[in-house]
Amino acid sequence: MSFSHNKIATGRGAVSEADQADDIIAAVTGKTIYLKKITIHVTLAATGGTGIVTVRDGVAGTILIQVDGDTIDNQREVDLDDGRGYPLTSGNSLSLEVSGAGTNEASAFAVAVGEIEY
C-alpha cells in the first residue's frame, strides 16, 4: 500500500442486533477520501440463516466488501489500492451494515484506511 503526502484517514465502525448500521468514516465536506484498505470481522454470528455484513458507499450504495454473517470469526480484507483507491466523494460516508438474518443479526466491526486529497 502506497501513500502520497496527503493526510491519512482511518475509521472504525461496529454493528450488532441493537445497532444495525454505523459510519466507519463520516462524511467530509469539500474533500475526497481515497480508500485503500477495508477489513471486516464478524464477532458474533447471526442466527436464523442468511445474515450478511456489508461495507458500502453511503451515497451511491456501492458494496465494497461483504461477508457471511452466519459464521463467527469470519474475516475478510479488501485492498482497494489500485494506484489511487476508491473515491469516497465530498459529503459521502462509508457505512457498515448487518442485514438478512432470520432471527438475530450478526455483530461485527470494520476498519478502513485511506487518504484525504488536499
Asked if residues 84 and 4 have their Cβ atoms less than 8 Å apart, the reply is no
pLDDT in tens, 75-115: 999 999 888 899 998 888 999 999 999 999 999 999 999 99
Please report, for the chain, the start and end positions of each structural domain, with discontinuous segments joined by +. Answer: 12-116
User: How far apart (Å, rounded) are the C-alpha atoms in residues 109 and 43?
Assistant: 8
87, 9 Cβ separation under 8 angstroms: no
**Residue range 16-70, pLDDT digits in tens:** 999 999 999 988 888 899 999 999 999 999 999 899 999 999 888 999 999 999 9
Alpha-carbon distance 112 to 103, whole Å? 29
- Report how far residue 65's alpha carbon sits from residue 96's, in angstroms, rounded to the nearest whole number: 10
Q: Is this model's pTM higher than 0.75 or not? A: yes
Which ranges of the chain would DSSP assign to H, the alpha helix? none
**Residue carrying the nine cell digits 459529503:** 91
**Residue range 12-116 in CATH 3.40.50:** no
Q: What is the pLDDT of residue 2?
A: 53
Residue 3 reports pLDDT greater than 70: no
Query: Is the Cβ–Cβ distance between 98 and 69 less than 8 Å?
Result: yes
Q: Grid coordinates representing 25? A: 468514516
Neighbours of 60 (CB within 10 A): 10
- Give me the DSSP letters along 84-104: S-EEE-TT--EEEEEE--SSB
